[in-house]
Chains A and B, each alone.
Chain A
Amino acid sequence: MSAATCDVAVLGAGIVGAACARALAMAGLRVAIVERATIGGGATAAGMGHVVVMDDSDAQFALTRRSQQLWDELSSQLRASVEYVQAGTLWIAVDDEELDTVRAKHAYYTSRGIVAEMLNADGVARAEPNLRPGLAGGLRVPGESVIYPPCASLWLVNQAIERNATLHRAEAKRFDRTTIELSDGSTLTAGAIVHATGIGATRFMPSLPIRPRKGHLVITDRYPGFARHQIVELGYIKSANGAENESVAFNLQPRKTGQMLLGSSRQYDVTDGAVQPHMVERMVARAFEYMPALARVSVIRTWTGFRAATPDSLPLIGPMPGWPGHFVATGHEGLGITTSLGTAELVVTHVTGQRSSLDLNAYLPTRFAEVAHG
């Protein structure tokens, strides 16, 4: 049986594990990456890839904002296949009540140094001519972007490999303090072990408060220019952060290819990944309420994915009680593409003690009693 050693093993090469591996390797550690399937092939392959700042809580804001800035800094180095495009986000308000929310969001963003612009009804129509007439207004956040997550993960992994990380294509089967048994029969000894296994983390650590939250997506053929921004209805925030069992919100993304990707839906307690026609129907109907011209656009595929949702919409990043030497980096719900880079920064801090501009405490798994007390 072969055995390998490293400073830190990263389990899972979704976007979170890939970002952690890169950051740890750049911090000078010898990294081993363990992935049982395709790099970026888990939840990451289903995600929309909207890099977006959210303000449900200050901690959510801090992590998304820091991450978005990191994506920005990386953008010039990314390969073309990552399909980075700074499309900006357009939040849509349908009535005065929503417009008030948009104003508050505007104030919150601008006071924290984010460029954001209030649009009135005309402004929205000019920004997105295919939206229906009669919307109340919106908020444009021009600095936000869109990427293609599977190739972003691949790029991050390759960056780690350039800094001497190794890639093990196998499943992590069993652990003790410092060793990992892999499905190919080999073992890996590591000074630290990072569980970036997404929704799979609960298999070994059942106390983690993660629930799968299913989402559907619909992609169209190429219609360059049909939509220019990632267009999101304000109700998305409620859908994302609420606890409703089943919800949909209009969320349309222009891809670099000229295609459009339509979200979004959220469902708890569904474990089957099959596309459910009634959910697609609801999403499409919602989309027509905002952009009826989509009716004739050609749809080429639908698919689903599972977000790893936590009770407070914040990820779980840090040491795991009862598991000395093990760290978790999971629970990113619908924001893990964005927050992967900020997460990596936090993980480096946990593993090496290096300073981070982010507050470690807000994301610790031990904030939940069931984790803290095993």
Chain B
Amino acid sequence: MDKRIALTVNDEQVNAPEHCTVAAVLLASPGVATRVSVTGEARGPLCGMGVCFECRVTIDGEAHQRSCQIPTSDGMVVATRGTDSYPREYEQYLSEQIVNKAYDVLVIGAGPAGIATAVTAAQAGQRVAVLSDDPHIGGQIWRHDHAKPLGRFAADWRDRLSRSSAEWIASASVFASPKPGVLLAETPTGPMRIRADQIVLACGARERFVPFPGWTLPGVFGAGGLQALVKAGMPIAGQRVIVAGTGPLLLAVADYLRSRGANIRFIAEQTSRVKLARFAGDLLLREPMKIVEAAGFAWRLRGIPFRPNCWPTRADGDSRLQSATLTDGSRRWTEPCDALACGFGLVANTELPRLLGCAIEHGFVCVDADQRTSVPNVFAIGELTGIGGLDKALLEGEIAGHVVAGRFDLAAALQRRRTKAFGFVARLADTFALRDELRQLPDAKTIVCRCEDVTFEQLRTQPDIRTAKLHTRIGMGPCQGRICGCATEFLFGWDAGSVRSPIFPVAMKSLAGGE
């Protein structure tokens, strides 16, 4: 630890600890926004997981790089201003050959679900690869922490994976599927074409953001987003943080941030006390282990006010966050703070499943008891099939691992636990459903589409998402509507629109194919 490296940020020399991301380093220098929006607002990272594209900077002359996904290296040159520089050295890049790979089983996503499948299938003798667009395995919950080793349970799974025959492919983003059983991925060393007899989708979820006045200020983060950024090296010690939104994730985030020295002011949970009490009663009956977990959080978070029935209504500050205003429905008050971490639940990353043609219902991939999707030889597991957290992800991962290896009896033995896990999914969704008042948060000028700076006022008279898109540019930014689409689904009930390859931005070279 504590080996430091030197990089240049906007022509100034900056020293940073090794193994951080570029976004974390930028966040450590107060006043550095990562980008200027299309209408001239200063912006900083929001999601911390490569989804929102707010953290785009120019790295070594290459514009539009997601700084939250890129580890720092010695001598790196980072620029946060302007997008008018562009890469001139292309020769080597153009000559990069596409790499061809083939497996029995390809697992996409290396969170707990994907790891469990990879381990299980590899143990059963399948030729398995597991890939992820992250540089490290772990996904969201077991995300690599630059300062802290993984917990024992997670480390155990990681070690099982590294001891298994499964191949781990880091920093590879699947962006297209030219035909069934073939996927294209972009990697730091060029494009990769992967053939697989069976594909297991474990793409996980992202946070839902609800727009409110001021939510585009640097200093407003996702809840999981802030946690991810801190794990990647963003300093948080001594900072005043409000954790807001909904769901059990808020407790985990507050607990983690506090362990890193943050001054957590309080946790604002939008759901009602009544619903929470019912949820707790239910857990006590059916999932005593989850109550033990919750009690652990409560113990470690003692002294931090937990406010149910409470949500943020605006954020203020002069080009960065200085205070947040909250309400409990009747009272409104303003709290000074340095960071507002707010996540309004999770949304499954269904872009790849939809690209492959998998049936989706209510935002989740439809699967049978063996985790099969509607597309032959394509499986889906984890948050993709319903937000249920770690236990469900591991369980579904094991089931899929058994099924792809033809061990149906072992999969069948897990069915009872699977049914129970889906019961928990339904209770979570019900308990933490977003309240109607949140739809009233945006005012006329509130930006809904952060990539293209489209305001609420421009949208509220539009009849549907396609008209809105064509006439206002909402959803046309580099996040491809992942942030604003979830918001407009909640605000206006618009559906998600269609997906096409590339399912996220790639270098033009990656579209060139080749042998």
Q: Which residues of A contact B (CB under 8 A)?
A: 37-41, 45, 81, 130, 150-151, 154, 218, 220-226, 257-258, 262, 274-275, 277-278, 280-281, 284-285, 287-288, 292-303
**What is the CB-to-nearest-CB distance from B351 to chain A, in angstroms, rounded to a whole number?**
12
C-alpha gap A154/B257 in the complex (Å)? 49
Given A293-B87, A299-B508, are A223 and B502 neighbors across the interface (CB < 8 Å)? no
On whether the beta carbons of B90 and A292 are closer than 8 Å, the reply is yes
**B88 in contact (CB, < 8 A):** yes
Residues of B within 8 A of A281 (CB): 511-514
On whether the beta carbons of B500 and A301 are closer than 8 Å, the reply is yes
**What is the CB-to-nearest-CB distance from A125 to chain B, in angstroms, rounded to a whole number?**
14
Closest residue to B464 on the A side, CB-wise?
A38
Q: A37-B466, A295-B508, A302-B502 are in contact. List 6 more A-B contacts (CB 8 A).
A: A40-B471, A45-B470, A151-B471, A222-B83, A293-B90, A295-B94
Residues of B within 8 A of A278 (CB): 178, 513
**What is the CB-to-nearest-CB distance from A92 to chain B, in angstroms, rounded to a whole number?**
18
On whether the beta carbons of A38 and B508 are closer than 8 Å, the reply is no
**B333 in contact (CB, < 8 A):** no
C-alpha gap A285/B514 in the complex (Å)? 10
Given A293-B90, A297-B86, A300-B480, are A150 and B471 neighbors across the interface (CB < 8 Å)? yes
Q: Which residues of B contact A (CB under 8 A)?
A: 38, 62-64, 83-84, 86-88, 90-91, 93-94, 176, 178, 464, 466-467, 470-471, 476-478, 480, 500-502, 505-514
Residues of A within 8 A of B506 (CB): 298-299
On whether the beta carbons of A277 and B513 are closer than 8 Å, the reply is yes
C-alpha gap A257/B477 in the complex (Å)? 11
Residues of B within 8 A of A284 (CB): 508-509, 511-512
Residues of B within 8 A of A292 (CB): 90-91, 94
Residue among B62, B470, B506 having the largest count of chain A Cβ atoms under 10 Å = B470
Given A258-B83, A293-B88, are A298 and B470 neighbors across the interface (CB < 8 Å)? no
On whether the beta carbons of B478 and A300 are closer than 8 Å, the reply is yes
On whether the beta carbons of B64 and A41 are closer than 8 Å, the reply is no
Q: Which one of A81, A262, A298 contacts B63 once the chains associate, using CB atoms below 8 Å?
A: A298
On whether the beta carbons of B502 and A295 are closer than 8 Å, the reply is no
Given A226-B86, A281-B513, A299-B506, are A275 and B500 neighbors across the interface (CB < 8 Å)? yes
Residue among B88, B466, B471 having the largest count of chain A Cβ atoms under 10 Å = B471
Mostly, the A contact residues are: mixed
What are 16 A-to-B residue pairs whose CB atoms are below 8 Å? A37-B466, A40-B471, A218-B508, A221-B64, A222-B64, A275-B500, A277-B501, A293-B87, A293-B88, A295-B93, A295-B94, A296-B62, A299-B507, A299-B508, A299-B511, A300-B505
C-alpha gap A284/B84 in the complex (Å)? 22
C-alpha gap A41/B470 in the complex (Å)? 7
On whether the beta carbons of B83 and A223 are closer than 8 Å, the reply is yes
Residues of A within 8 A of B84 (CB): 223-225
C-alpha gap A101/B487 in the complex (Å)? 53
**What is the CB-to-nearest-CB distance from A31 to chain B, in angstroms, rounded to a whole number?**
21
C-alpha gap A244/B470 in the complex (Å)? 31
C-alpha gap A151/B470 in the complex (Å)? 7
On whether the beta carbons of B500 and A41 are closer than 8 Å, the reply is no
On whether the beta carbons of A257 and B511 are closer than 8 Å, the reply is no
C-alpha gap A147/B64 in the complex (Å)? 25
Residues of A within 8 A of B178 (CB): 277-278
**What is the CB-to-nearest-CB distance from B454 to chain A, in angstroms, rounded to a whole number?**
11
C-alpha gap A262/B508 in the complex (Å)? 10
Closest residue to A288 on the B side, CB-wise?
B94
Residues of A within 8 A of B510 (CB): 299
On whether the beta carbons of B507 and A295 are closer than 8 Å, the reply is yes
Residues of B within 8 A of A294 (CB): 508
C-alpha gap A45/B473 in the complex (Å)? 12
Given A38-B467, A222-B83, are A296 and B505 neighbors across the interface (CB < 8 Å)? no
Residues of A within 8 A of B470 (CB): 38, 40-41, 45, 150-151
Q: Which one of B38, B88, B505 contacts A299 once the chains associate, using CB atoms below 8 Å?
A: B505
C-alpha gap A81/B468 in the complex (Å)? 13
Residues of A within 8 A of B91 (CB): 292
On whether the beta carbons of B83 and A41 are closer than 8 Å, the reply is no
C-alpha gap A49/B87 in the complex (Å)? 27
Closest residue to B503 on the A side, CB-wise?
A301
Closest residue to A275 on the B side, CB-wise?
B500
On whether the beta carbons of B90 and A295 are closer than 8 Å, the reply is yes
Given A277-B178, A284-B511, are A298 and B478 neighbors across the interface (CB < 8 Å)? yes
C-alpha gap A300/B506 in the complex (Å)? 7
Q: Which one of B464, B466, B500, B508 contacts A296 once the chains associate, using CB atoms below 8 Å?
A: B508
C-alpha gap A303/B475 in the complex (Å)? 14
On whether the beta carbons of B509 and A296 are closer than 8 Å, the reply is yes
C-alpha gap A281/B510 in the complex (Å)? 9
Closest residue to B512 on the A side, CB-wise?
A284
Closest residue to A293 on the B side, CB-wise?
B90
C-alpha gap A284/B86 in the complex (Å)? 18
C-alpha gap A122/B330 in the complex (Å)? 71
